[in-house]
A and B are shown apart, each in its own frame.
Chain A
């Protein structure tokens, strides 16, 4: 069994400021890790994923995330946010085998960028 905890349900940040959205996971096996973005009344779009290799993963829209195995974390960061980054962000985890139906999603973090 696996679980995902997104520690902050809402994160307000001023435009052009840096942001970090936190994600911790729990799993008895090795996992893949994902971050998705959801704009209001839209589907989910993949921002980035960690499969193996370098623990620093770069994604779309200037986002990056760092996998920390010892702390079981996969925090999402952006050095300077824009108004257009206002959305909900979901962290997700999947075991290394078993198909996409095994993906577990976090409860989401709403990022509100303040002009």
Chain B
């Protein structure tokens, strides 16, 4: 089945450690996105990529980094510079240039203690 796979579903890390969240898609989509979701705040865009080896900052990129070495993969690293990293992280993908639909993964809940 085609879709987006995020792993792990739950992640615990100590404060000050970098952590990488995985996002893989087999939909052959060019564009991929990372969102952060906090209670009562909806989704906020962290980074997006419209093509391999290229990515752009979203609204809240500080403290995060990404790479896009393969079309299928768009990992997100939450660095120690992120002041409040505990959140639910969602990855999505879409056909490049499409404004009207994206497909979402199941999310990763990151808790930093």
Contact = CB atoms under 8 A, between A and B. Distances in A.
Nearest to B58: A101
B1 interface: no
How large, as a class, is the contact surface on chain A?
20 to 34
Contact of B9 (A41, A105, A107): A41
How large, as a class, is the contact surface on chain B?
20 to 34
A32 B102 CA distance: 13
A46 interface: yes
Contact of B33 (A9, A90, A98, A100): A100
Interface of B: 4, 6, 9, 31, 33, 40-45, 48, 50, 56, 58, 88, 90, 92, 94, 96-102, 104-107, 109
Interface of A: 4, 9, 32, 41-46, 49, 51, 90, 94-103, 105-108
